[in-house]
């Protein structure tokens, strides 16, 4: 069975959410964030930087969320959650899947972690200042792109929504999603109400 290396409330929640959406059974190997547990030789043999997510699918190990998404959708579904890359919709999906990680989650994650739970000796205050300066523009891009459509690609839910909503939810906790970004607020509410998200957020 597919194994997901996971930490609660971390990027690996996106992989759990995707598996819940597509109905792929999985087991979790849960690691504690910012502890030596993630940097043991055994885990560094799975993920060379000792990060999550990573997956082990019958001995095939893969890391980086975007790559994991491409693999799981291609291998276990009809592909609809990531349309073919040679179509405009598929190319747009790749754009938003990329944007959902870098810059969105990278910058929001830095502000959240370096302004909060990271151990003091690892904190870089300049990352918080830089992130706070960029954050409104990063959320604004999604606010404008959503327009009146329910999902980032239009009428259909996709893997790009999962990638975006994770970073946007961090932005919401940091109050960069607010009354000035009503579409993103509503988008987060609707997507996070999905039963698959609720199940992923609970583990």
Ligand X SMILES: N[C@@H](CCC(=O)N[C@@H](CS)C(=O)NCC(=O)O)C(=O)O
The site for ligand X (CB under 6 A) is made up of: 10-11, 33, 38, 50-53, 64-65, 101, 109
The CB-of-48 to ligand X minimum distance in angstroms stands at 11
Q: What is the DSSP letter of 24?
A: -
Q: Residue with the closest Cβ to ligand X?
A: 51
When the beta carbons of 33 and 134 are compared against ligand X, the nearer one is 33
Return the closest-CA partner of residue 30 out of 58, 10, 49, 60.
Answer: 10
The CB-of-101 to ligand X minimum distance in angstroms stands at 5
Both tokens of residue 143?
Answer: 């606010």
Cα gap 3→48, rounded to integer Å: 17
The CB-of-56 to ligand X minimum distance in angstroms stands at 15
When the beta carbons of 53 and 83 are compared against ligand X, the nearer one is 53
6 close to 52: Cβ distance less than 8 angstroms: yes
Return the closest-CA partner of residue 127 out of 118, 114, 116, 140.
Answer: 114
CA distance readout (Å), 126 to 107, 108, 111, 161: 12, 13, 9, 30
When the beta carbons of 20 and 101 are compared against ligand X, the nearer one is 101
When the beta carbons of 34 and 149 are compared against ligand X, the nearer one is 34
The CB-of-105 to ligand X minimum distance in angstroms stands at 7
């Amino acid at each position: 069975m597919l194994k997901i290396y996971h930490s609660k409330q971390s990027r690996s929640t996106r992989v759990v959410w995707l598996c819940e959406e597509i109905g792929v059974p999985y087991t979790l190997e849960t690691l504690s964030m910012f502890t030596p547990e993630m940097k043991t030789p055994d885990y560094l043999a799975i993920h060379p930087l000792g990060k999550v997510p990573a997956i082990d699918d019958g001995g095939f190990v893969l890391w980086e969320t975007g790559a994991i998404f491409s693999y799981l959708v291609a291998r276990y579904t009809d592909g609809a959650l990531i349309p073919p890359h040679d179509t405009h919709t598929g190319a747009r999906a790749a754009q938003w899947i990329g944007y959902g990680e870098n810059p969105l989650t990278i910058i929001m994650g830095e502000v959240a972690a370096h302004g909060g739970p990271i151990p003091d000796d690892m904190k870089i205050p300049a990352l918080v200042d830089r992130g706070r300066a960029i954050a409104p523009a990063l959320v604004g891009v999604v606010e404008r792109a959503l327009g009146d459509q329910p999902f980032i690609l239009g009428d259909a839910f996709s893997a790009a929504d999962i990638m975006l909503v994770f970073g946007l939810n961090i932005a919401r906790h940091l109050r960069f999603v607010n009354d000035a970004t009503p579409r993103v607020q509503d988008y987060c509410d609707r997507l996070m109400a999905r039963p698959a998200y609720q199940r992923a957020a609970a583990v």
